[in-house]
Structure 1
Amino acid sequence: MNIKTKVFIYQLLSFAAFFIPLRFAISYFSSLEGIWIPFLAFVITLILAPKFQVITTKEGSKVFMKWIFSKEIKEL
């Protein structure tokens, strides 16, 4: 499997791990209706979910992760 494909899957799984619980929590605890529930969950998830990126260096492709709760950029 290509490294860019793996990073895409990591990004998708991390987004889903935040989005799905947030969507149900917002619908349970708020009085919002319709499209506003998933929209608000989407915006919050964009802020909270970690970001994965492939960077090509002289040594080869490396995967880096940046997260709002971590100050440094971590290499995976």
Structure 2
Amino acid sequence: MGVGTKTMLLQFVSFAILFLLARVGLAYFTSLDGIWLPIVSAVVATVLAPQFKVFKTDEGDKICMRWIFLKNVKILN
């Protein structure tokens, strides 16, 4: 599996987990229903999900993560 594929999977899994948590939490604590519940959940998950990017260096491809709760960029490999 390539580095780009791993990055896409990490991005998707982090978004999916946050989307499901936001959807369950919003359904439990608010009175949102219909189309508004998944729309608000998607916006919340998009804002809170970490972003993964691949950078090519002399040593090889590096996966970097930037997140709203971290001050610096974190290099994963």
| Pairwise same-fold verdict (TM > 0.5) | yes
**Structure-1-length-normalised TM-score:** 0.93
Q: Given the two structures, how large is their TM-score scaled by the length of structure 2? A: 0.92
The aligned counterpart of 1:35 is 35
Cα distance in structure 2, aligned partners of 1:32 and 1:18: 17
Instruction: Tell me the C-alpha RMSD between the 2 structures.
Output: 0.9
Aligned residue runs from structure 1 range 1-76, under 5 A: 1-76=1-76
Aligned residues between the structures: 76
CA shift for structure 1 position 58: 2.5
Query: Please, which runs of 5 or more residues in structure 2 have no aligned partner?
Result: none
Deviation at 1:29? 1.1
Identity in percent:
45
| SS of 2:42 mapped into structure 1 | helix
Equivalent position amino acid for 1:31 in 2? S
**5+ long unaligned stretches in structure 1:** none
